Chain A
Amino acid sequence: QSLLTQPPSASGTPGQGVTISCSGSSSNIGSNIVNWYQQLPGTAPKLLMYGYHQRPSGVPDRFSGSKSGTSASLAISGLQSEDEADYYCAAWDESLNVYVFGTGTKVTVL
């Protein structure tokens, strides 16, 4: 059972915005940075966001992250067909000394 909870699915039409939530606890999100990963169908995951709102080179600024207390969010603006993927939040849990992934959210572009 994952320590980080995400909604199983989210959807929107092209051009719309979508927000994915990630709920944790004081020992993981509350104490450490949150990373977000994107996994396109049939491919390896890719780091999408690190720290609070840092994007690796090549990640469009349509993706943004935020954190408040023990929760974090990933927002996608101007949804595009190529954004259809699974998205995972993740953070180090300092009580258990483990890196925890969220349950994952499948984003569908209608």
Chain B
Amino acid sequence: EVQLVESGGGLIQPGGSLRLSCAASGFIFNNYEMSWVRQAPGKGLEWVSYISSSGSAIYYADSVKGRFAISRDNARNSLYLQMNSLRAEDTAIYYCAKDSSGLEHWGQGTLVTVSS
């Protein structure tokens, strides 16, 4: 059974940094592309970032480019999102998702709240 478990969320002050992790199991992690998607309270889905299976191709939404960095450790079956210079508008639930013919499996998400 595919499982994706996000962690690392919490309350952080504006301008601060946070690193999210996503632990994957139940599939051959290094065969699959992965993405991060977020959802602000009461709002729709917003794609954040994508990484290819080897990590050689990476893309970001304009809203986070230059502030966020996606990475993966295939030996540890883990996906990461380093978030710097956080703003109030980054407050959201962050989901990691396995990318295969669409975002076919999602974690339960981790809440990031940016507030002073």
The answer to whether B102 touches A88 (Cβ under 8 A) is no
The answer to whether A35 touches B102 (Cβ under 8 A) is yes
Residues of B within 8 A of A40 (CB): none
Q: C-beta contact mask, A21-61 vs B, less than 8 Å → 1, else 0?
A: 00000000000010101010000111101110010100000
Interface status of B50 (Cβ within 8 A of chain A): yes
Question: Least Cβ distance of A2 to chain B in Å?
Answer: 7
B 78-107 contacts with A by CB, 8 A: 95, 101-107
Tally chain B residues at the interface, Cβ within 8 Å. Answer: 21
Interface status of A110 (Cβ within 8 A of chain B): no
With A44-B106, A44-B109, A45-B37 given, name 18 new contacts (CB 8 A).
A33-B102, A35-B101, A44-B107, A45-B103, A45-B106, A47-B102, A49-B102, A50-B101, A54-B101, A56-B104, A88-B45, A90-B45, A98-B47, A98-B59, A98-B61, A98-B62, A101-B46, A102-B44
Q: Using a CB–CB distance below 8 Å, which chain B residues touch chain A? A: 35, 37, 44-47, 50, 59-62, 95, 101-109
